[in-house]
Structure formats: C-alpha cells, structure tokens
Structure 1
C-alpha cells in the first residue's frame, strides 16, 4: 500500500472576495510540483461563492468537470443551451470534450454557496460535449457508500473515464469496507466533515488521502463524518 497525505492546512488558498477557494492540487496561482494530480484526478477545489456572484462564461475542453454543492444553489449556463440550478444533494457533470463554454454563479443573493469542483482527465478525447445532473436522496448514503458518478451505473451520472465517485454519511463508530473498482485504480479520499480512519490513517475535516496498490479500503468513522471517495486510473501524465 502506498499513500499520500494532504492535510487541510497544506492546500493552496485564494481569496478573491467574492470567491474563497482551497486547492488540493495545483490550480491558478497555486503551484506545487508534488501536487499536480493524483492519477486521472487533476483538480479538487473547495469553493465558497458569495451571494449573487460567480464565474463568468469561460471555455473548457477535454476535461470531465464535476460539481457537488455542499450548501446553497449553483446556477449553470453553457453554450449547449443548458440553464440549470444545481442544489445540495445534486451532482452535476460536464464532459467538456471538443469544447464548451459555461458559467457558474450563486443562484441566491442572500446566502453563500459552497461546492466542490473536481476535474478528471478524460478517457476519450474530443467527444461531443455532454451535460448531466441528478439528485440523490441523502438517506441513501447514511451509513452506506453511495456511487454518484460512474461509467457503468445508470443510477449515477456518467463520466468519460474509468472513474467512480462515492459519498457516505457515517455515524460515529460505523465501519465500512470499500472495494476499489479496478486493479489499476487508486482512491483519493476527501473528508468533507468529521474525523475518520482509513486503512489506519487518521483524517480530519477537509484532509485528503490518496491510496494506491490496495484492493480495499477499511473506513471507520471516529465521529459523525461525511466523506467523498474518488476512484480513478493511476495514469502517470495526461
């Protein structure tokens, strides 16, 4: 087993006033040669956007972009004509493919929106741009590991990669085993809230842990906790 630990207080940070963002991996003006990506996982940003503010229209290509609201609502518009509100308990994915432009703004003027913005290198390049979002019942991940992004599960949003995202809300003392989907994959664990122990490593809120060369994860909730598991191919470069 190999691991790489990213404590919450070691992340890159940019506060633009309207946007307060923490970067697990190199992004924008934050650069660390040791934190470019974890396999196919390229970006994991922990963003807070003030009311009525947001990202204006900007382009992407050949990237799988996942948004997971933690609180509040996001307003998404793109050049395919999509105009959607993404709410807590929703998961959105945009396959940028051959090229797309979009905007993401806080849908409310009177409260912040907090969300995770995650980028994954694609399996196939230059596909037709694609958009999907789904709502997931919060009770379906209480003491369970719920798959929300997958290439092979009609109950999840589809991704152009051999990657699986799962969410779990665990009560204190609950133990779960997670089986890695492919032998070639690793898993990046991000602790949204609470304290957990993963394969013997203690993690706290907003810590991240990359694990490779194992087939299972042993998860124990030391307190009530919410975690995100990102199961991705361990590509060396993209």
Structure 2
C-alpha cells in the first residue's frame, strides 16, 4: 500500500511516502517557517522529484494530534484537501504513536513520548517494545511531569524520552529521581515517516476514514476557547 503522509504537529514540518514498509520519498524542514507556507510546496516537490503522483497513492495520512493547535489544523486541512482531490481514504494517526515508531528497535524499553503542552503539562503516551513491535500502555493524554514521574517510579524497564518535549521530559524525570535517557537527535523529533508507517498498520486493521470524517485530535481546548469560556463565566453570560 502506497501512503502519502504529512506531519505538522510541532515546529518541524515533513512529508513522506511509504509502500509496504519501505520509504519511497521523504522531506523535512525545521526552519520555523509557518507550515501554511512550506507544507504544500514540500509535498509537490517531493512527489515530482521521486516521480510519484497523488493519483498513485492509496491513502493520505496525517498526524492528527495531539500537538500545536495551528499546526494540526494546517496538516488535517491539507490532508483532507489532497484526499478529496484524489478520492482517497485517510488515516488519522496519533502524533505520539508515530514518533514512538522510530524507537521500535529498542526491545524491552519503555518509550516515553512527550510534546510540550505548556501550562506545566506535556502531551504523553507510553509504549513498550515487545518482539520488535510497539505495545501501547496508555491512551494519549495531557499530564504533568510530576504525575508522570510518580507513575514511572519503580518501573524497572529502561526508559527513553522522544518527541519535541523529550528533552524537557527527560530532564524533569531525572531531577525527580526517575532514570530516563533521551532519544538521539536524529530520532528525537516526530516525522512523516512514522506517520506513514503507523497508517499502514491502520489500513491493515481497517481503520481508514473518509476525507469528510477526518478530524483533528486536540486533547484539550485551544487557548482562545479557554479565554472565551473564562470571559463568559466572568460576565455571567
């Protein structure tokens, strides 16, 4: 199965195409430029340079969240547009699961996925590698680093943090007495290759959706929504 994947959940922006577990093309930019400027030109040039076409894809995958509210909206909107244009199904991939796939060779390790959610929280999920495969241990969630440290305290498995919040997580856990390594720089940040590989498993499990059904996953309300709700409460409306 040939899958076009997009990753815009954090500062870096990437796109990739995989087929049956093999990487056919990949492109990444970590310049800090807005994804609305970089994503579609990146996809177009990647497909052209690899002699691939959108019509030749079997599905479009996207990191649907959690992550940056703006970044997730851009990625999901782009995936919906591409899928609508080509009549393709979509895969709404967990950003956290996709980043964990880069460490699925670490047999017996506990993979601690972390994205900086601000407000003293991280977006987090835990995975264990068993027989070369990821096993999810909890749902995607927003958690404090103190609560995560208490949950992991006493767990004998070697731990490794990954994601754009990985360094923050690793430092906090270490300070709180929980030994945790940090994924190497080349594997630390989320990327579209992981999104594509996760989407292949979703396709095999019959978990693809239509472009219309594709939705972002935020885990908590956006800052603008929280401010609006607070203002309504204060004004009594």
- TM-score grouping bracket, smaller chain normalisation: under 0.3
Which structure is richer in relative contact order (CA contacts within 8 A, separation 6 or more)? 2
The structure carrying a bigger strand percent of its residues is 1
Question: TM-score, length-normalised on structure 1?
Answer: 0.26
The structure carrying a bigger helix percent of its residues is 2
Which has the greater radius of gyration?
A: 2
